[in-house]
Structure 1
Amino acid sequence: MKYILGGTIDIAVHEVCDGGSIKEIYRPSGGDWGGTNVDEAFIKFLREIAGNDAIQRFKDENVEEYLDLLRDFEAKKRGTDAASKTNIAIKIPPTLFGIVQGMTQMSLQDKLQASSYEKTVTLTKTKLRLDADVMRSFVCGNLLQMIQHTSDLLERPECKNVDAILMVGGFSESKFLQEMFKLNFKLPPIVPPKAGLAVLIGAVIYGHRPTAITERKSIYTYGIKSTADYNDKIHPLSKRSVFKDGSVLCVDVFSIIVREGDTLVVGRVHNERSYFPIYESQKVMIIPIFTSRDRNSKFTTDPGCKQVGSLQVPLAGIGTNRSVTVRMLFGGTEIIVECVEEATKRIRRLNIDFLTY
């Protein structure tokens, strides 16, 4: 069974294998389309009615009441569906009324009547009553982008034959969101009970069963900063360097071991490369480890490249034919870099957090 898994921002494609383990078919992707963005749309709406300065002062001086307001909105936005005609009531803290009056010399009622929402929002005592379309408008921009991105994913060859859309995270509890996915996709959306806690529960389960996910897609390209024989036909002059033994080398070469999007299998060596010292008398080889979001990074100085670690490997003997084999293994949430000095078989290791780098 294959299914799409989406939270507030990231959307991934997983496959359930025989025995219940999971492998990642397509790495998490998406954008800034989650529930927090919906909250920001609501705050922008309040700023338009009450005034930017009044809302900012209310937020700064009355944090508890501000959070109560957002919690009330959170509950109401999840319960709004696609067909609702009923107005949605949001309780406004009394403090906000006083702040608006004091800063603008106008009541909140007068400010509302002077806004573009005079026909779609009413104020009754301490509650703003929003037309259902106004509430849905807070969600629509994010929802359209989520639907488009999901549609694009389903068109990819590796994402064919997906059986279901699994929706988790707080935003997934929105009835409007669920109904729009049902309307736009033939796949049945699955929303587990307490979807808002599903990510946390899943993390706890994964902590106890790290072998539950057997394959992931690499989020980054990983490699080693190295050198290569300089070739003026393919290497820029800025990377040309003459060393004390007279050799002319290209420096800052991004020697790729794992590419972004590659499949990484738990406990398996993904790839390995051999590196050699520049000088015959060299005693230590330094292995700088870099990441990039570009599958085809050429140099470690390219935009987006970042050093995430370094290993020092002692070298036995003399000569430039002494090799150090660098290999990468996937270990759950880590990529394990192993450097093997072939003459002595001594191993140096470095663990890199797969979810961070």
Structure 2
Amino acid sequence: MATGVGHLAVAAIDFGTTYSGYAFSFKSQFETDPLNIAAKTWAGGQLQSLKGPTCVLIKPDGKTLETFGFDAETRYSQLIEIGQHTKWYYFQRFKMLLWEKAINKNSMLADETGKMLPALTVFSLSISYMKKDMESMSTKQLCGIGPDDIHWVITVPAIWDDSAKNFMRLATKKAGISSEKLTIALEPEAASIYCRHIPVELDGTSGIASSFRFGKKYLVLDAGGGTIDTTVHEVCFDGKLKELYKATGGAWGGTMVDKEFWDFIAELTGKDSLHRFKKDNMEDYLDLLRDFEIKKRKTDSNSQGLVTIKLPLTLMDIVEENEGRKMKQVVQSSRYAKMVTLSGDKLRMEFNIFRSFFKQSVDNIVLHVKHLLSEPETNGVDAILMVGGYSESPLLTETIQKEFPRMKVIVPKDSGLAVMNGAVIFGHSPNLIKERVSKYTYGIDISEIFDRKIHPSEKLEKTDLGDMCRDVFDLVVKSDQKLKVGEPQFEGRYSSVAVNQSVVALNLYTTTNKDVKFVTDIGCKNIGCIDVPISGKGTGRYVKVRLYFGGTEILFECEEESTGIVTRNVVDLM
């Protein structure tokens, strides 16, 4: 894995479902104060934050970036007003494309109007914007620093599969960041590392410092916009962390709450009216979304009275035109008539209605955490560390505290920035994680001598070497296996079988099933081919192959026996 060693600065891109941002620190700063981290301030109207919306606007040629973040929202709204938006490509909240979907370098992505572009283009242009913006910002702070002096870190959910992580590496490379200058960081790990560095004097009454002493075990709940990412860590004697249980989670993040809210608005206004409103009045649509986002982050279970949402006049006009009656009459005739009122442009709802938007998301999170804490590997966990933007919602944090009264629930200040800042620290010190747990079982496709007692006849293959059994799943790593970072989990010896052979191809398979004998078994999936280079000519040229699964990506190392040449690289799964 690439590291930040030898570079003058480390920059981290936190690529989120709803919000993204970047942060950086110089090596000299990190050595004296690891928390001396700079970040861009994003501005949208009157709103300022250290992250901007994950929105990208691409010019009509489908290749050139126009802008990203709040500026993309504003510019696209302007294009709608003059009727030119259909020629442009506008994407928002597109990160979830990589969740539980088969994805490769040729995957396509639909924009807001249904036009298609390669997903790799959309992701790479977004990363390119933040890369160039960060380089410009860093040079203003320290003269003489160049692009070659920066090591990059990009964050991904720990629950993503290997191909999704590899896709982000390809997108980052296409954005102009070489593999040698890139480290992939897992989001809950980055947040955990950040919280380990919060000094005691800033701890207050949150209990952060005491929860990170030697021997402590805690659950990291990374609640983002798209996914909920959970992992369990133990603090080792040297202050480093080891994972006790494999990363798990699901698509229960803040966008699930947003969907429930929009379903509610659609029921009040009618789906056709809401669709037309979003299509023709993007700026007002974004204002409504931002208003709801503020309510999500501020409303708690102690809130009194009604929750108020300001409805855009353009939406009410569209409803009146479509329904033939005033918006107030539409509300009064709905099934929410006794729980919702409209006064002017202010939609006031009972608190129980507002809380219902969170129910599906929160119920899934609570159920998952309960299941996780019932596993033998999590015995001794006495704290839940909540990070991610969604953790800023009082309704979520209060529910976790209520459902797990025996746990110390820790929500650090600026929990939404924990991943981004932790990724910067991880880039400077990539060895802070010493052990992980494998989420999958991995194997290599091999042929072995046919044994009629154990091998099915349909797998028999006649070769010059005799009867062989094909499609054998040669176990490399088991699911739930503990993986020491920096140590190989597998070593095999392979030889050339052809005179002019230049590579030994090893097909890598993965499965979640416990008992797999053949790569053709149900649930077994080919995730890529490892092309092991081999020099010279002739048969019988041997090479040792070592596979490392303990890092954030799968690495391979090959050593030619005849020359001693060693090659090491990330396994390409695209």
Scaled by the length of structure 1, the TM-score of the pair is 0.89
Q: Quickly say closer, same or farther: Cα 1:338–1:261, change in 2 above 3 A.
A: same
Deviations 1:231-266 (A, max 9, x none): 3444444433222x1622222323222223222222
User: Is the aligned partner of 1:293 residue 2:508?
Assistant: no
Name the SS for the 1:119 alignment partner: coil
Query: Match for 1:184 among 403, 425, 428?
Result: 403
Match in the other structure for 2:369: 150
Give CA-to-partner distance per residue, 1:242-296, whole Å, 9 cap, x none: 22x162222232322222322222221222123355x486845523242413254
After superposition, the Cα gap between the structure-2 partners of 1:125 and 1:280, relative to the gap in structure 1 and judged at 3 Å, is closer
Contact kept in structure 2, 1:86 and 1:132, CA below 8 Å: yes
SS in 1 for 2:347: strand
**Is 2:423 aligned against 1:203?**
yes
- Corresponding residue for residue 227 of structure 1: 447
Distance (Å, rounded) in 2 between the aligned partners of 1:50 and 1:234: 65
Question: Does structure 2 conserve the Cα–Cα contact (< 8 Å) formed by 1:266 and 1:331?
Answer: yes
The corresponding residue for 2:460 is: 240
Match for residue 160 of structure 1?
Answer: 379
**Which residues of 2 match residues 98-113 of structure 1 at below 5 A?**
98-113=317-332
Secondary structure in structure 2 of the residue aligned to 1:261: coil
Equivalent pair of 2:436/2:550 in contact (CA under 8 Å): no
Structure 1 residues 233 and 122, CA gap change in structure 2 (3 angstroms): farther
> Which of 201, 219, 222 in structure 2 is aligned with 1:4?
219
Task: State how far apart, in whole Å, the 1-side matches of 2:461 and 2:295 are.
Answer: 64
Change (3 A) 1:177 1:111: same
What does residue range 15-30 of structure 1 map to in structure 2 within 5 Å?
A: 15-30=234-249
Asked if 1:13 is matched to 2:228, the reply is no
Q: What secondary structure, in the 3-state scheme, does the structure 1 residue paired with 2:489 have?
A: strand
Unpaired segments ≥5 residues, structure 2: 1-215
Is 1:328–1:338's contact at 8 Å kept on the other side of the alignment? yes
For 1:76, which of 271, 295, 300 is the aligned residue?
Answer: 295
Task: Pick closer, same or farther for the CA change 1:350–1:221 going to 2, 3 Å.
Answer: farther
Q: Aligned partners of 2:518 and 2:283: how far apart in 1?
A: 50
CA offset digits 1:127-156 (Å, max 9, x no partner):
111111111111112212211111111111
Structure possessing the higher radius of gyration over alpha carbons? 1
* Inter-partner Cα distance in structure 2 for 1:64 and 1:304: 47
SS in 2 for 1:211: coil
Residues 289-342 of structure 1: CA deviation (Å, up to 9, x unaligned): 42413254433344451333321443768666x643221125743322122333
Decide whether the 8 Å contact of 1:7 with 1:168 is kept in 2. yes
Candidates 389, 393, 412, aligned match of 1:174: 393
Q: Which residue of 2 aligns with 1:266?
A: 485
1:73 is matched by which residue type in structure 2? F
AA in 1 matched with 2:445? K
Aligned residues: 352
Q: Offset at 1:227?
A: 1.2
Query: Would you say 1:92 and 2:307 are equivalent positions?
Result: no
Does the 8 A contact of 1:217 with 1:264 survive in 2?
yes
Pair 1:285–1:240, CA change in 2 (3 A): farther
From 530, 534, 542, the equivalent of 1:314 is 534
Deviation at 1:213, TM superposition (A): 1.5
Please provide the CA RMSD for this pair: 2.5
Note closer, same or farther for the CA distance 1:96–1:315 as it changes in structure 2 (3 Å cut).
same
The answer to whether 1:66 aligns with 2:285 is yes
Amino acid at match of 1:288: L
1:131 maps to 350
How much does 1:165 deviate? 0.2
Cα distance, 1:141–1:331 mapped onto 2, change above 3 Å: closer
Shift of 1:191: 0.4
Do the aligned residues in 2 keep the contact of 1:224 with 1:287 (CA within 8 Å)?
A: no
- SS at the partner of 2:517? coil
Partner of 1:140: 359
Are the aligned partners of 1:37 and 1:142 in contact in 2 as well (CA < 8 Å)? yes
Q: Report % sequence identity.
A: 41
Q: Is the 8 A contact 1:290 1:300 kept in 2?
A: no
